[in-house]
Amino acid sequence: MADTAHAAPDGAPRRDFLKLVTGAFAAVGVGAIAWPFIASLQPAKDTLALASTDVDLAPITEGQAITVMWRGKPVFVRNRTAKEIEEARAVPVNSMPDPATDQSRVQKDEWLVLIGICTHLGCVPTGQKPTDTRGDYGGWFCPCHGSHYDSAGRIRKGPAPRNLDVPQYAFTSDTKIRIG
């Protein structure tokens, strides 16, 4: 404290300012270094490249369903019967946990395409095979914690918060779709 006399009266604020600048600089530096590490944990380019899958619908007869893999996830493709479509359209939408009309979930009435992952905690619901239990609403049933989905893949009962997701897909011809 020998040089007190030389210290400007604003010495302390200046010191504070220098500390702040240094601290801010260090924080930005740490962030810049952390960035590539966090980015490395995100899906890699080859994972993203596997982003589309073609499905031939011709062999799927009415009432049948198949499961294909897309991005490591099961995708349900179901050729719905007229009765299933009618059931899905008859119910009032407002009474559902995640209201959505059946029309908003399909591109062609009979073809329902869904990501086969329960929106609760990610199990694969049963209901694809004719022998599977389909739950109380004739669609799918998730055995993990008991979520019931209807024939439009909408959540009707159980802990799942959302309807089964509809992936991006397009009809590439009358009997072919490309998912992704």
141-170 mask for another protein (x: CB under 8 A)?
A: -xxxxx------------xxx---------
Q: Which of 21, 31, 67, 86 binds another protein (CB under 8 A)?
A: 67
36-65 mask for another protein (x: CB under 8 A)?
A: --x--xxxx--x------------------
Of 150, 178, 144, 179, nearest to 163 by C-alpha is: 150
Of 82, 79, 72, nearest to 130 by C-alpha is: 79
Residue 123 within binding range of ligand FES, rule CB under 6 A: yes
Strands 147-150 and 138-142, by their bridges, are: antiparallel
Active site residue 145: yes
Q: Which is nearer to another protein, 70 or 87 (CB)?
A: 70
For the beta carbon of residue 114, count every other beta carbon within 10 angstroms.
24
Reduced to 3 DSSP states, what percent helix, strand and coil does the chain have, rounded to the nearest 5? 30, 25, 45
Q: Which is nearer to another protein, 71 or 178 (CB)?
A: 71
Question: Residue 75: exposed, middle, or buried by beta-carbon count in 10 A (0-12, 13-18, 19+)?
Answer: buried
Q: How far apart are CA 47 and CA 28, in angstroms?
A: 30
Q: Which is nearer to ligand FES, 55 or 120 (CB)?
A: 120
Residue 155 within binding range of ligand FES, rule CB under 6 A: no
Residue 144 within binding range of ligand FES, rule CB under 6 A: yes
Interacting residues with ligand FES (CB under 6 A): 118, 120-123, 142, 144-147, 158-160
Residues classed as catalytic: 145
